[in-house]
Amino acid sequence: MANDKKMVEEITSMDVDFAKWYTDVVKKAELCDYSSVKGFVILRPYGYAIWENIQHIVDKKLKATGHENVAMPMFIPESLLQKEKDHVEGFAPEVAWITHGGTEELTERMCVRPTSETLFCDHYSNIIKSYRDLPKLYNQWCSVVRWEKTTRPFLRTREFFWQEGHTMHETAQEAQDETIDILNLYAGFCENELAIPVIKGQKTDKEKFAGAEATYTIEAMMHDGKALQSGTTHYFGDGFSKAFDVVFQNRENKPQYPHETSWGISTRLVGAIIMTHGDNNGLVLPPAIAPIQVVVIPVAQHKPGVIEKATELQQRLAQKYRAKIDISDNSPGWKFAEYEMKGVPLRVEIGPKDMEKNQCVIVRRDNREKVFVPLDQLEETVEKLLEAVRQGLYQKALENREKRTFTAAAMDEMVQLANEKSGFIKAMWCGDEACELKLKESAGVSSRCIPFEQEQISNVCVCCGKPAKKMVYWGKAY
């Protein structure tokens, strides 16, 4: 019991200090550790396993839709980075520069990739010759480096892991379709596998990616009322193609520039999982990406046959699930707290009394519901409960988002909501960047997205009162 208490005491309550709660969870659940390299973190086995599960699922979805993986160099020569004007302006201030290779000074310095549009376009200019070579649907899984000033594990680190897709298409329409198809793929993954509801929409020009014609985003609502951009897709038109001289012979046998997209999700998603589903006992993981889906804990394990029975249950479950057993010397109470901290979706308890009744106890991590299960119904019950956890998590997250979604028709209402509540504020916008800047200044909110699902709140811009063009989600964001 002393141990249990210690475990629980170590996490700051999220109501007391959300930021501290977050770093406590990251640290105590052994997702990350700080390193001697400032602004960089170490992904520990449990944290990396979550990312591996994300990769595995998303990679399969990308391959099923015709995408192929490649690997580009991790360095970009300065002249290559400079080829597209808007892009270099956006990224040059935040890259790490290599100036020496071994003992020699480089004739041209190179940066570590902050993103790889330039490298992909350079390669595409070599391999795309004809419309028969299109589309090219390439993706790479890698890490990138951006010299951030303030960092937080998973949310903002100088190095982070992601996938970056870079595709080339014959027509503008096909490229635009790709950005929407991938956004839907991301949204489906977040909602189904991660149980995180998202708003799909377009970024305003102010918030779009450096060099893009259009940026689309999925925005999720965290437990503290801040938004988290969880995935983006970009439509470039033929801007990069022109800058990098990517030309193909079209069906009329004439030279033409192909149309480009890029898109990515990153280890930020692990941050989204923590802040969407976590509670004051620690992490809560959606089953699809949980490194351990079910943990079996023997109770009174010194009694004859208990460990054997528990092992038998674990082995039955391991046929289909990532199932673990803990037969260490720690008390059951300590183990309960430990695996709650680690967010394991289901816990199976079995002791001598359960064995007499030919049953076990299953406890859900999300709502702590406890059921007694006849041993011959173990697998089917686990299957049902894992699905119930997934749905329960999604429902809870959706309720949190709905509870934290407000509407403002006028500026004073906007400012008041932004001061008193935390969450999304839906309001009309005229389309001018000046109003975005003013809303940032007076209410501290930025535009999260112009959602695909529009509503008509009023006819005029919440800020300037001129005719409104779009309804926008506003909020504070990570």
* Binding interface with its own copies (CB under 8 A): 33, 35-37, 40-45, 48-49, 51-52, 68-77, 80, 93-103, 110, 112, 119, 122-123, 126-127, 138, 142-143, 145, 147, 158-159, 161
Residue placing its CB nearer to its own copies in the complex, 48 or 209: 48
Choice between 131 and 147, CB closer to its own copies: 147
**Of residues 80 and 265, the one with the C-beta less far from its own copies:** 80
Asked if 190 contacts 288 with a C-beta cutoff of 8 angstroms, the reply is no
CB of 404 vs its own copies, minimal distance in Å: 33
Cβ proximity to its own copies: between 99 and 358 the closer is 99
Q: How far is the CB of 478 from its own copies (least distance, A)?
A: 21
The minimum distance between CB 38 and its own copies, in angstroms, equals 9
Shortest Cβ 228–its own copies spacing (Å): 21
Count other C-beta atoms under 10 Å from residue 40's C-beta.
15
**Please, how many CA atoms are within 13 Å of residue 82, restricted to the half-sphere of its CB?**
6
Q: Which candidate, 305, 303, 304, 285, places its Cα nearest to that of 295?
A: 285
Per-residue b or e along 104-128, where b marks 16 or more CB atoms closer than 10 Å to that residue's CB? eeeeeebbbbbbbbbbbbbbbeeeb
Nearest approach in angstroms of CB 140 to its own copies is: 8
Which residue has tokens 């993706």? 139
Do residues 438 and 404 touch, judged by C-beta distance below 8 A? no
Nearer to its own copies, 42 or 415 (CB): 42
Measuring CA to CA, how many Å separate 405 from each of 90, 178, 228, 473? 31, 30, 14, 9
Token digits for 466?
């001129």
Residues 346 and 352: their CA atoms lie apart, in Å, by 20
CA distance 301 to 279: 29
Q: Which is nearer to its own copies, 119 or 397 (CB)?
A: 119
> At closest approach, how far in Å is the CB of 390 from its own copies?
25
We find the least distance from the C-beta atom of residue 247 to its own copies, in angstroms, to be: 17
Q: Which is nearer to its own copies, 119 or 348 (CB)?
A: 119
| Separation CA 423–CA 403 (nearest Å) | 8
